[in-house]
Chain A
Amino acid sequence: MSDDLFRYVLRLADDHLILGQRLGEWCGKAPSLEEDLALANIGLDCLGQARALYAYAGKIEGKGRDEDDLAFLRPEREYCNALLVEQPNRDFAWAIARQFYFSAFMLPFWRAMAKSTDDDLRAIAAKAEKEVAYHLRHSAEWVIRLGDGTEESRRRMIEALEELFIYTGELFEMDAVAHAMVSEGVGVEATDLRDEWRRTVDGVLAEAHLTAPEAAYDQSGGREGRHTEHLGHLLSELQYMQRAYPGLEW
């Protein structure tokens, strides 16, 4: 039980740390000052959620690892985030598509998690739900404006939505860990969220005058630590300070 719970919470924590790092990469480089702050705000929300989840994961594990140990001192193969969140910021449309797909999943996820039998997860879910509602609104408005914008913004939005679509199926995956958590009343039955996710995505894309992509196949492996080539580069930057100066505090 506690092994499964540790793993389950760690996956969620990794999703949010890695996505937060990707969003942080926009700091100082976003298309406008306003969007620079917006992306950083969303990134900081993700980081806050990751911190709460890591702290809880460390407590469950009971080996004295704290949030920093879990965030900074594991090798790539031990990260179990979904592949979607590690995908790079090829352009602004990619950042928006990634956020939109993820937030459209996380909103019903946290709502369902708010009914968990686990006190800590319930508390984290209650706080995260409000944050994610805004992430979804913000990213959806950009999908609509880029999709229904200029010829170039439309082309880039379509490309990002299509390229990233193969990573969305993994969000709904249920393996032994997830099933165990659902049967304990702790976890969320992710497959149940698929219809709502699809409705959200289709609705926004229709407003953007885009057609929703279909995935020829689903790319997966992140939950088992098999990542795309992008995560290693992200981690080398994320972990640099702790690797170069072990135990550094500031």
Chain B
Amino acid sequence: MTETTPLWEVFIRARNGLNHKHAGSLHAADAELALQAARDVYTRRGEGQSIWVVRSSDIVASDPQDKDMMFEPTATKIYRHPTFYEIPDEVGNM
């Protein structure tokens, strides 16, 4: 099954101006069938304006074991969050 129909990742853009967002994955024999399957599986309720499909094996992913090295150091750098600005009352909700 997976030999002839590899895994594909599906990205859907819901509306003009929005980004494509990861919707899920599926099995398909080739790009055209993956696109059709994505349409049938992930856009049945009007979710989509545009679809991207990418072979899962073509995605380069970070190693979960590297997560301390990759992401932990940012936890202490609170100055990177824009939380130190005083917002004048007149601006209202941002």
Contacts and interface: CB of A to CB of B under 8 A. Distances in A.
B44 A37 contact: yes
Interface string A109-152: 00000000000000000000000001001100100010000000
A193 B28 CA distance: 33
A249 interface: no
Contacts of A145: 29-30, 33
Contact of B36 (A32, A33, A137): A137
Contacts of B33: 141, 145
Interface string A27-58: 00000111101100100000000000000000
A73 to B, nearest CB: 30
B32 interface: yes
B37 interface: yes
Interface residues of A, number: 12
Nearest to A138: B36
B44 to A, nearest CB: 7
A137 B41 CA distance: 16
B40 A37 contact: yes
A141 B32 CA distance: 8
Interface of A: 32-35, 37-38, 41, 134, 137-138, 141, 145
Interface of B: 1, 5, 26-30, 32-33, 36-37, 39-41, 44
Nearest 3 interchain pairs by C-beta: A34-B37, A38-B40, A37-B40
